[in-house]
Amino acid sequence: MLADNRYPNFARPICEAARRRGVPVVLDGDKPTKEDDPLFRVASHVVFSSECLKATDGSNDLGEGLKRIARHTNAFLAVSNGPDDILFLQGRSICRVPVFAIRVVDTLGAGDALHGGFALALAEGRSEADALRFGAAVAGIKCSRIGGSAGTPDRAEVETFLAEHAVSLRVHG
């Protein structure tokens, strides 16, 4: 399940119901909040935008921000940062998933594309790092086109893109 933290009073009971049923909950950390936001404890995965994490944590160090949020949740934590690597926590280590070098035309909807791709890949059984790479491919393709949701690629386009950019994913800390 994919949820957004913009309307926490609406999202929380739905997320709680999903978790009770054993359904993973991916939370799009897009709206600045507080480090101990209850939604972070309900979600199984939280992927922040860099802007949200900085505003929530009060720091410009994204890795340290993830570590501070981790004090309040057992969720998998990651942060996207535009054209820079996606950071995520593995234990106490900060790891990186490289994003794709693309010619940016329009970033409207890029975060939603990343989150949707990540949630889909997780639902299909991919590891978190592989799911982040899949989400980065969806977002990268979307950014190479004009239009929010109209620029979102279909599954075949993402698979072709990943095949053309095939590298063994070496997550590095």
Strand 2-4 vs strand 26-29: parallel, antiparallel, or unpaired? parallel
Judged on CB neighbours under 10 Å (0-12, 13-18, 19+), 114 is buried
Q: What CA–CA distance (Å, rounded) separates 26 from 46?
A: 6
Rounded CA gap, 58 and 92, in Å? Answer: 20
Degrees to nearest 5, angle at CA 157 with 50 and 135:
25
Q: Residues 37, 112, 130, 154: which is the catalytic one?
A: 112
Instruction: Take residue 18 and report the two structure tokens written for it.
Output: 């999903």
In degrees rounded to 5, what are phi and psi of residue 96?
-125, 140
98-111 burial, b if ≥16 CB within 10 A, otherwise e? bbbebeeeeebbbb
> Has 112 been annotated as catalytic?
yes
Catalytic annotation, residues:
112
